[in-house]
């Protein structure tokens, strides 16, 4: 087993089933006897959760895209320093609901912030840290929004137009095409038992690869 922990992220449009997927992934990792920290973005620390409240606030009527981008990375900087890097350094694995791929998909593809600007912040805040594995929960936008709407009142992002989420979805799929070794696309439109079977298979394989020192 590698000494440093593995960093796994879960991504997808709103309502794609990331929270549901988190528990499936966690079960596999814990069953393998590996220490696990579960967290989310924006959030994961007291400061990050305060920033999350600001970002998702119902009464917020919009935000300058650069302000939104900087708040995301402010939360991420704190998250990395306080929670993610210390856990990885002691060999625990970190499972995170959203990370920087969300920024490329939502702020980049969705809102039109330049990739160069996001990449500059990514480099500054993360250095060369990148997830070892990302599960992209993919499904049609209408189904994701239908599922998201069922659970809770829509947050600020979920008020946005369908076209916005179509761009976000395509942004994610582009990342997956560009980084196929890291990003595994899971068809999240299927019934839960089928999704669970695929996720269990992917994570068990990943654990085996890490144990043999190849990832
Ligand atoms: N954001 C975030 C950015 O813009 N930039 C960034 O850099 C970052 C980090 C909040 C927002 O922040 C934005 C993106 C987001 O808009 P969030 O709270 O993680 O992030 O956003 P949501 O996607 O809205 O998270 P949710 O928890 O609301 O949705 P999930 O986790 O994707 O979906 P989940 O698992 O709760 O499932 C939704 C419903 O569908 C059912 C579940 O039981 C649940 O009821 N379900 C299924 N039903 C049938 N079949 C299946 N296969 C199912 N899978 C799930």
Span 53-87, pLDDT tens digits: 999 885 456 788 899 999 999 999 999 999 999 99
145 CB near ligand 1 (under 6 Å): no
CA angle, 106 as apex, 182 and 75 as ends, to 5°?
85
**Per-residue model confidence (pLDDT) at position 208:** 95
**Could you tell me the pTM of the whole model?**
0.94
Q: What is d(CA 98, CA 8) in angstroms, rounded to the nearest whole number?
A: 10
DSSP, res 137: E
For residue 157, report the distance from its CA to the centre of ligand 1, in Å: 11
For residue 15, report the distance from its CA to the centre of ligand 1, in Å: 4
Residue 213 burial (C-beta neighbours within 10 Å; 0-12, 13-18, 19+): exposed
User: For residue 106, what are the CA distances in angstroms to 12, 22, 24, 111?
Assistant: 10, 20, 25, 6
**Pair 207, 215: CB distance under 8 Å:** no
Confidence of residue 104 (pLDDT cuts 50, 70, 90): very high
Q: What is d(CA 182, CA 176) in angstroms, rounded to the nearest whole number?
A: 8
Q: Over 70: is that where the pLDDT of 115 sits?
A: yes
Q: Which 3-state string (H, E, C) describes 70-117?
A: HHHHHHHHHHHHHHHHHHHHCCCEEEEECCHHHHHHHHHHHCCCCHHH
Pocket test for ligand 1, best of 147, 153, 169, 198 (most atoms within 8 A of CB): 147
11 CB near ligand 1 (under 6 Å): no
Pocket test for ligand 1, best of 19, 25, 76, 115 (most atoms within 8 A of CB): 19
Pocket test for ligand 1, best of 11, 20, 80, 189 (most atoms within 8 A of CB): 20
Q: What is d(CA 127, CA 215) in angstroms, rounded to the nearest whole number?
A: 19
Residue found under tokens 């991420």: 76
Average pLDDT estimate for 112-132: 97
Summarised one tens digit per residue, pLDDT across range 5-39 is 999 999 999 999 999 999 999 999 999 999 999 99
**Per-residue model confidence (pLDDT) at position 2:** 58
**Per-residue model confidence (pLDDT) at position 63:** 85
**Pair 164, 154: CB distance under 8 Å:** no
Summarised one tens digit per residue, pLDDT across range 147-204 is 987 555 666 665 666 889 999 999 999 999 999 999 999 999 999 999 999 999 999 9
For residue 145, report the distance from its CA to the centre of ligand 1, in Å: 9
**Per-residue model confidence (pLDDT) at position 114:** 96
**Per-residue model confidence (pLDDT) at position 96:** 98
12 CB near ligand 1 (under 6 Å): yes
């Amino acid at each position: 087993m590698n000494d440093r922990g593995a960093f796994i992220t879960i991504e997808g449009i709103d309502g794609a089933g990331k929270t549901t997927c988190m528990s499936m992934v966690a079960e596999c990792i814990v069953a393998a006897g590996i220490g696990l920290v579960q967290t989310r973005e924006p959030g994961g620390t007291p400061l990050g959760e305060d920033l999350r409240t600001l970002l998702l606030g119902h009464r917020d009527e919009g935000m300058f895209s650069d302000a939104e981008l900087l708040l995301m990375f402010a939360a991420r900087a704190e998250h990395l320093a306080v929670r993610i890097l210390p856990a990885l350094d002691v060999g625990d694995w970190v499972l995170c609901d959203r990370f920087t791929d969300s920024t490329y998909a939502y702020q980049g593809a969705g809102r039109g912030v330049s990739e160069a600007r996001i990449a500059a912040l990514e480099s500054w805040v993360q250095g060369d840290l990148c997830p070892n594995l990302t599960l992209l929960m993919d499904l049609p936008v209408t189904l994701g929004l239908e599922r998201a709407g069922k659970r809770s009142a829509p947050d600020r992002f979920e008020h946005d137009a369908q076209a916005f989420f179509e761009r976000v979805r395509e942004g994610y799929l582009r990342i997956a095409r560009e980084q196929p070794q890291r990003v595994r696309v899971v068809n999240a439109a299927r019934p839960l038992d089928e999704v669970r079977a695929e996720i269990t298979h992917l994570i068990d394989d990943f654990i085996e690869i890490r144990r043999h020192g190849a990832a």
